Amino acid sequence: MYAISIDQPHATTILTGPRPFHYPSWRTDHRGLLLIHARKMKTTRDSSASVQGMSCNALVGVVELMDCIAFGHPDADPDEIEYHWVLANPRIFARPLPYIGRLGLFQVSDEVVAAALKDAESSAPPLKLKRRGAGAK
């Protein structure tokens, strides 16, 4: 299963924020389940206690990557396209799984996350998608 490493507190925000969540990133053809790995956060004296208590260096949940949308900016170079990943149906792991993250999308063995996926808690109601009929354009 694919995973992506994201800085805290953004990893937690993706799993608990409003739906659907748009995450600025690069273009990918991957659609479907995506593990969220929380990278170690750089703490400062100004960091709140709640932020400092967040899990880091661990797989903390899973979302569905629904779409990858290109956004162009007016008056910008045509080569400077920003992509937003549309993430939905978050599930938070009951216990974070310690794991070393990587850059970009990376593979995690299904055996590593099988129990965590089974016990994952949904933090939002499922996203209802409208399906197009076979003849729709």
What is the domain-level CATH number for residue 23? 2.30.130.30
Residue 135 lies in a domain: no
The whole-model pTM stands at 0.75
3-state SS assignment for residue 3: strand
Mean pLDDT value across residues 50-70: 84
Question: Does residue 20 lie within any of the structural domains?
Answer: yes
The reply to whether 42 falls in a domain is yes
Nearest to 64 by CA among 33, 104, 92: 33
pLDDT at 126: 46
Does a structural domain hold residue 128? Answer: no
* 69 pLDDT higher than 60: yes
Closest residue by Cα to residue 36 from 4, 71, 65: 4
Quote the number of domains for the chain: 1
Residue 104 located in a structural domain? yes
Answer whether residue 50 is part of any domain.
Answer: yes
> Containing domain of residue 101, as a range?
2-122
Which of 42-46, 82-86, 101-105 shows the lowest per-residue confidence on average (mean pLDDT)?
42-46
* Amino acid type, 74: P
68 token code pair: 């990858």
Structure tokens at 54: 């967040």
Mean predicted confidence (pLDDT) in 5-29: 85
